């Protein structure tokens, strides 16, 4: 799975949970920038993020030393560094598969572009959809997927097709070289080696909350996120 013996820098492997928390740190730092706060301690960050200061310091320590003892972290600097680490200092081109009700909602969602995620092409299996232009985004046939991924430098796929077809769409995307997929279909597709999938599945979220709504008292601790 890994390479030969030379063994490059190889920064100690970072737990996936940590990577998943970093974007939240970036977001809070963005809020602090807007509030014109210049320095922040791990304790203050912990309050905003509902975590412990230790967690934040430990997380950051996987990537470097960003703070100053006795003072804390420079808000602007830390935000910039984390964005660089996460790859958020650049734009990413996104391909959307499925322009049904859900796909259209995603296309019209204004939250992606400001964060650097640009939907540059849409795809659909239905020939009557192909050729359309929806809010500036062209709709292509699935057969054009490989070509368009190349030509438009698409590195992220968004899947918004019926659950029944999600797996094959994921497989197609992976074949075409896409290694990060955001899946809105109510199915957890089989994952491929080296490919990241994140599922957006509100029904599953609801279904795990109802457990705590049952019985007289099952909700002992009141946390939990995402």
Residues that bind DNA (CB under 7 A): 15-18, 41-43, 51-55, 57-58, 60-61, 65-73
CB of 77 or CB of 199, closer to a second copy: 199
Site membership for a second copy, residue 167 (CB under 8 A): no
Judged by beta carbon distances under 5 to 8 A according to partner kind, the member of a second copy, DNA, none in contact with residue 69 is DNA
Task: For a second copy, give the closer residue by CB, 65 or 101.
Answer: 101
Question: What does the H/E/C string look like for the chain?
Answer: CCCCCCCCCCCCCCCHHHHHHHHHHHHHHHHHHHCCCCEECHHHHHHHHCCCHHHHHHHHHCCCCCEECCCEEEHHHHHHHHHHHHCCCCCEEEEEECCCHHHHHHHHCCCCHHHCEEEEEEEECCCCCCCCEECCEEEEEHHHHHHHHHHCCEEEEEECCCHHHHHHHHHHHHHCCCCEEEECCCCCCCCCCCCEEEECCHHHHHHHHHHHHCCCCCCCCCCCCC
The nearest distance, CB 224 to DNA, in angstroms, is 10
Stretch that binds a second copy, among 38-46, 53-61, 81-89, 129-137 (CB under 8 A): 81-89
Measured from the CB atom, the residue of 54 and 113 that comes closer to DNA is 54
- The contact pattern for a second copy, residues 105-144, with x = CB under 8 A and - = no contact, is x--xx-xx--x-x---------------------------
Give the interface with a second copy as residue ranges (CB under 8 A): 1-3, 13, 16, 19-20, 22-24, 26-27, 49-50, 85-88, 92, 101-102, 105, 108-109, 111-112, 115, 117, 155-156, 179-180, 182, 186, 188, 190-214, 217, 219-226
């Amino acid at each position: 799975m890994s390479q030969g013996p030379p063994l490059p820098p190889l920064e100690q492997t970072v737990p996936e949970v940590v990577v998943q928390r970093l974007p939240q740190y970036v977001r809070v730092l963005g809020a602090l920038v807007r509030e014109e706060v210049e320095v922040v301690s791990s304790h203050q960050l912990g309050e905003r993020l509902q975590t412990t200061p230790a967690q934040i310091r430990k997380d950051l320590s996987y990537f470097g030393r960003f703070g100053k003892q006795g003072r804390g972290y420079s808000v602007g600097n830390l935000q910039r560094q984390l964005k660089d680490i996460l790859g958020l200092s650049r734009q990413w081109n996104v391909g959307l598969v499925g322009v049904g009700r859900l796909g259209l909602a995603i296309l019209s969602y204004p939250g992606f572009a400001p964060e650097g995620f640009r939907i540059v092409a849409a795809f659909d299996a239905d020939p009557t959809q192909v050729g359309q232009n929806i809010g500036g985004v062209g709709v292509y046939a699935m057969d054009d997927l490989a070509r368009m991924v190349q030509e438009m430098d698409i590195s992220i796929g968004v899947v918004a097709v019926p659950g029944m077809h999600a797996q094959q769409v994921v497989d197609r995307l992976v074949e075409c070289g896409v290694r990060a997929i955001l899946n809105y279909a109510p199915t957890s597709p089989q994952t491929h080696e080296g490919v990241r999938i994140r599922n957006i599945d509100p029904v599953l979220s609801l279904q795990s909350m109802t457990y705590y709504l049952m019985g007289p008292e099952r909700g002992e601790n009141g946390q939990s996120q995402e």
